[in-house]
Structures are given as C-alpha cells and as structure tokens.
A and B are shown apart, each in its own frame.
Chain A
C-alpha cells in the first residue's frame, strides 16, 4: 500500500511522537499548536496512551513530568505566551533530569502578539528563558518530513541524556501541508532511557554514569528503589542540599552532560559551502527561502552557500567555525529583530562582514529578498 500522505506539520509532529513511543500528552489550547494535542487526544487512546487538557500551561508541563517520572514518554505542545508559562517547569525537568519534550510552535510576540502570525522570536527564550544556568536541547526542523523525524529524535535525545528537549517549529511549517511517506522512517532507532545495574540498596539516583547521565528508576517500581526527586540542589542520593560541592556538582552535571555529548546532539545541513565566500545562515521556514536564494545566486555567479542549524541548542560552534573558514560575508535572515546573529557574531573574526535581514511583520522572507542582500553585500 502506498503510504504517501499529505500531512500538516503539526500532524507530522503528533505522528512522530506516537512513533517515538509517547503514551502521555498534557496540553492547554493555544494557536498555532492546538492541532498537535487534538490529534494526540484522538490517537493516544488507540495505543493505550492518554491525553489530558490541563487547567493551564504550567500544569501541562507538571503533568508530563509526573508521567515521565513513572517511566512514560510524554509531550506537551504550546506557543507564545504558553511557552512563557512553561518555563518554570521546564527548569524543573532540567534540574531533576526528567526526560520530556516541549513543542513550541512559534508565533509573533511578545505577549498575545499574533496567534497565527509567523515569527522566529523564541530562539533565545528556548535557551535563556529560565533562571539559573539551565541546560537545554532545542531542535528546529524546516519541513513536514523533518518535523516527523526530528520529533522522534527529540525523544531519543531526551531519553538518552535525561533532559527536557524543546522542539521549535515555525507557525508556517506547523500549518503547512507536504507529502510524506512515514514508512520511510520505519527503521528509525527508538531510544529508551537506561536503568541502573546496581540493586536498590546500592542505588544512588543522582550518581551519573561515565557519560555524565543519571539513571532514574521509574517510581512505582516493585524492586524497592525509593528516592527523592527534587528541583532543589541535591546530593547523589537525591536529598536536598545546599552544600557547596552538591551545588557545584549538580550545575556542572546537568550542563556538562549536554556539552560533553554535543557532537552527537548536533545536526545541521550545508549546501554549496565547499568553495563559498558568502554564507547564508538560516533556520526554520527562512532556510527554505535561503536554499532557493543560494541556488539563484550561484546561477548569477556568486559563490554563495547555506549553513542551516537543525540543532539550535547546544549551539553548533565548531561546525559553524569550520564552515566560516573561507567566508568573507555572512548573511543572517531571520523573522525577528536578530537573535541567531548574536551567536554568529561570537564566532566571527573581524574581517568578515555580517549582514542582517530582519523581517518581523508577519510576512515570510522571500528568496528574492535574500538574493538582493547577497548582491548588495557582494558589490560593496
């Protein structure tokens, strides 16, 4: 049977989640993300899973963390002001090392902004939206197909590194329909969290393995593993502690496990970068226009290339540095006032020219607009 389907981005996200083994979703209605939970409300019971619409976004993250503590893969979708509210418990998941996935279908903000207006304003919030040195993994697919497989990957990374993962989507990609054959992803690896080898008597829940990752036995187990999970600084046995070394150790561990394993977390795409002198760096829906812009620029004789981060956090420092080696001009089109560009500026040496193209009126950045910037930048 031909399983080629025309799917909406949000639909692909819900289906990818089911494929990843999600059995619990809690959400609160908010445009443009609501389709994800509507679909999961219908689909989860068919796979013995559950959906609950909570009283607000804070409770939604709380509920999915609660379910994950019981060993159940869980997800919550949201957008804009809802993403603001979710930060509190995303920080808890990072601190207590509970794997969950938060989908943020970005809309124009701040505040209510525009519910169906496309914008890329949450890149920095995904990383810096919480107090303290809070680690995060954030992934940013740019097509319906990529949403499907990146949703699965988000769960794999969450389970493997015992951490919350944010999936950033653009409103336009979330609501766009494209062809996808989900059978193409039939063999994708599904990762489930590791359990400890030691018995309950020797068990220290927050003693990490060699890769820096903790192994938390789901609560309600019948093997006698009993311990405390807390958002407060804690020692290896999970008990609250504000002793200097437990503070230092926990902050180092939750951030260090991401940093140590960043090469495995990183994913990006490069087009025509081998001999490029002008590099367009773009993600999400803007990168689709950038692909076309680079193609046209090449046909006009410009040595243009594209670097597209798929992993946004941890930031792709080394791969981008490598791609920037022979670059004279960098062009950063973004549907915000300039967020990605801050990280790029950190990596760039002085003689490279950085040109920003920031459009945040809700209209998509078109290939012609990027081509215009390439031409202008290369002639000056």
Chain B
C-alpha cells in the first residue's frame, strides 16, 4: 500500500505550521505499520490535545481523540476491553509528561500492551509557546520570558524506571533509527515507549533564535548521539546530549495476558490461580 492510502487527504488542509516535523514521525509510523501489515480494522489510535494529539485524526484508522493528557487512560480501557486489538497512542511532551504524567507512569507500571509515541518538541505549540516539562534550561517560552529555570524530564529513564518493557528514542533527522525503533515498539508485547525528538520552529524556534526550520532540524541533529558514540563521552558530555536507540527491550507478562489467566477461574471451579511473584 502507498503511505498516502493511510492518510485522509480529502479532509486536508492540515492544521500544522510550516516547518513542523510532527508529520515526519507520523510518516515513519505509517511506513513501519505498512511493513508490518498492521490490520487497520484491528488497530485503535488514541490521542488527545495539542499538535501531537490532533495530527493522527488525519489518518484512516479508528481514532479516539480524548481529553488533554488522558490518552493512556482511555487506551487502557480500550486494550482491556479488546486485548486482540493493537493500541497505539500519540502524545505531545506536555500531554504525556505534565498533565498526563500520572497516567504515563501507571501505564508503564502495568506493562499494558500499548505502543506509546511521545513527540518531544520541547514546547506547548498549539497554545502559543508556553514552557513544557521538556523545555531546556535557559530556553525562552511565553511563560519563561527570562529563560527556563526548571530541569527537564528524561522521558526514557522515566518510562524505564516505571516499568516499561520497551523503551527507545528516535528523532526526525536519523530516520533509519526512528523507523527501526518504531517497528520494534509496534511488535512489542507489553508497554512500549518511543520518544521522538521533533522541531517546532514557530513556537520554540522563533523565541530561541532558530526560526529557520532547516536550522531547527540541524539543532536536533547536533543534540543527538547514538549509544555507540555516547559510550565514548564523559558523563558531563553525555548529559548535554540525547542518546538515541533502544534502552529497554524485555519480555514480561503483559497485563491483558495476566487478566486472561485470572479469567481462567471460570474454568477451574473458582480455584484461585493468581500467585504472588
């Protein structure tokens, strides 16, 4: 299938700003989904509010677009109701880590079979450039006119420590890596997290002297290093970079698999089968 067949071009124009690279992540997702022959009728995409939340509504899938930050909560109900359905969640960084932070860590803890993609553009784009929990220290935002003073979240470390069984990072410059981790995440059985670094030249760039979309992409290129390169860096040097690639890939029992086991009580005359592990 052509990638265009997955996109509802009849409802264009897109709402995104010129130079936005969220579409690159969606494009990469579609290529991975196509390669994996993902059954659209057995797939539900859940997304919420903000630029990253609105973008998936243009895809020809079943799309549930919910309240700000709550995509993973809704997705939990979707997956428990129909464990056979593939559930994919797209979120922005504010959506996933600020207002939705609680749902994020609990979905990871439960190891529920959801592929979660966080698009990290380091700013609240749609609402006009307010700072996010991912805005780098010193960067300007409408609500940080003197520069950001708060430290940022490391999304991958957060997901890994909360219990996610697949954790990876990609970016909109190194597309082979983004494609590979997206594909692995979609094939993963438990909770899979992909953080994708994207660029927002309008709301982030303009306030931080990188309004040129190409320079924003260049900035991301300079921000990231592969794991192999990172190993040669000092701890201080590493702290200034985003490492891309796979961090966690383990096989643990997924939540709906545990539930299926629990439902066996019906077959074994109410014998309790859940054991402490």
Give the interface of A toward B (CB within 8 A): 23-24, 26, 45-46, 48, 50, 52, 54-56, 58-60, 62-72, 74, 88-89, 92, 219-232, 237, 239-240
What residue in chain A is nearest B99 (Cβ atoms)?
A58
In contact, A228 and B76 (Cβ under 8 angstroms): no
Q: By the criterion CB–CB under 8 Å, are B81 and A24 in contact?
A: yes
- Minimum CB distance partner of A72 in chain B: B81
Residue of B nearest to A232 (CB): B65
Establish whether residues A63 and B57, one from each chain, have CB atoms under 8 Å apart when the complex forms. Answer: no
A70 to B44, CA, bound (A): 10
Is the beta-carbon distance between B263 and A58 smaller than 8 angstroms? no
- Within 8 Å by CB of A59, from B64, B70, B262, B265, lies B70
* B44: chain A residues within 8 A (beta carbon): 69-70, 219-220
In the complex, 7 of the A-B residue pairs with CB atoms within 8 angstroms, ordered by the A residue number, are A26-B77, A54-B73, A55-B103, A59-B103, A62-B66, A66-B78, A227-B63
* Bound Cα distance from A92 to B54, whole angstroms: 16
**Which B residue sits closest to A69, measured CB to CB?**
B64
Chain A residues positioned under 8 Å from B84 (CB to CB): 220
Interface 1/0 per residue, B55-78 and A, CB below 8 Å: 001001111111100100111111
**Contact among A45, A56, A67, A69 for B263, CB-based, below 8 A:** A45
Tell me, yes or no, whether B227 is within 8 Å of chain A by CB. Answer: no
B70 & A58 in contact (Cβ 8 Å cutoff): yes
A56-B65 in contact given A48-B266, A66-B74, A226-B60 (Cβ < 8 Å): no
**B265 to A56, Cβ gap below 8 A?**
no
C-alpha gap A207/B66 in the complex (Å): 20
Give the Cβ gap from B216 to chain A, nearest Cβ, in Å: 26
Q: Which of B54, B63, B64 has the largest count of A CB atoms less than 10 A from its CB?
A: B64
Selected from B61, B79, B262, the residue in CB contact (under 8 A) with A45 is B262
CA distance A55 to B11 in the complex (A): 36
Prevailing SS type, chain B contact patch? helix
In contact, B64 and A48 (Cβ under 8 angstroms)? no
- With contacts A229-B64, A229-B65, A239-B57 taken as known, whether A59 is within 8 angstroms of B81 at the C-beta atoms is no
Residues 29-64 of chain B, each 1 if its beta carbon lies under 8 Å from chain A, else 0: 000000000001110101000000010010011111
B262 to chain A, nearest CB (A): 6
Quote the shortest CB–CB distance from B189 to chain A (angstroms). 18
Check A24 against B63 for contact (C-beta < 8 Å). no
Residues of A within 8 A of B75 (CB): 66
**Known contacts A67-B81, A224-B41, A88 near B73 by CB under 8 Å:** no
Residues of chain B at the chain A interface (Cβ within 8 Å):
8, 11, 40-42, 44, 46, 54, 57, 60-67, 70, 73-82, 84-85, 102-103, 106, 259, 262-263, 265-266
Top 6 A-B pairs, shortest CB-CB distance: A66-B77, A62-B73, A63-B77, A59-B73, A67-B81, A70-B81
Kindly provide the distance from the CB of B265 to the nearest chain A CB, expressed in whole angstroms.
6
A71 and B85 alpha carbons, distance in the complex (Å): 13
- Whether the Cβ atoms of B78 and A229 lie closer than 8 Å is no
**Known contacts being A45-B263, A56-B102, A240-B54, is A220 close to B64, with CB within 8 Å?**
no
Residue from A52, A54, A227, A228 with most neighbouring chain B CB atoms (10 Å): A228
Measured between beta carbons, the chain B residues less than 8 angstroms from A48 are: 263, 266
User: Is the Cβ of B266 less than 8 Å from the Cβ of A220?
Assistant: no
Whether B82 pairs with A70 at a CB distance below 8 angstroms is yes
**Given A45-B263, A55-B102, A59-B102: A219 in contact with B77 (beta carbons within 8 A):** no
B57, B62, B259 — which one has the most chain A CB atoms within 10 A of its CB?
A: B62
Cβ distance B256 to chain A, nearest Cβ, rounded Å? 9
Q: Contact: A227 with B62, CB < 8 Å?
A: yes
How far, in angstroms, from A228 to B70 measured CA to CA in the complex? 16
- Complex CA gap A237/B263 in Å reads 38
Chain B neighbourhood of A46, CB < 8 A: 265-266
Task: Enumerate chain B residues within 8 angstroms of A222, measured Cβ to Cβ.
Answer: 41-42
| CA gap between A220 and B79 in the complex, in Å | 11
CA–CA, A327 to B144, complex, Å? 63
Residues of B within 8 A of A232 (CB): 65
Q: Which residues of A lie under 8 Å from residue B57 when comparing CB positions?
A: 228, 230, 239-240
Q: B87 — nearest CB in chain A belongs to which residue? A: A66
Q: Please indicate the chain B residues that have their CB under 8 angstroms from the CB of A60 in the complex.
A: 73
Determine how close the nearest CB of chain B comes to the CB of A44; give it in whole angstroms: 10
- Could you tell me if B266 and A70 are in contact, using CB atoms closer than 8 angstroms? no
B5 CB, nearest partner CB in chain A, Å: 12
Which residues of A lie under 8 Å from residue B106 when comparing CB positions?
A: 54-55, 59
Cα A58 to Cα B70 in complex, Å, equals 8
CA distance in complex: A46, B46 (Å): 29
Which of A26, A66, A71 has a CB less than 8 Å from the CB of B64? A66
Residue of A nearest to B104 (CB): A55
Task: With CB as the reference atom, state the residue of chain B lying closest to A52.
Answer: B80
Task: Say yes or no: A50 contacts B259, CB within 8 Å.
Answer: yes
A220 and B42 within 8 A (CB) = yes
Instruction: Give, as a whole number of angstroms, the nearest-CB distance from B80 to chain A.
Output: 5
- Give every chain B residue within 8 A of A72 (Cβ-Cβ): 81-82
Q: Give CA–CA (A74, B80) in the complex, Å.
A: 12
* Cβ–Cβ < 8 Å partners of B74 in chain A: 62-63, 65-66, 69
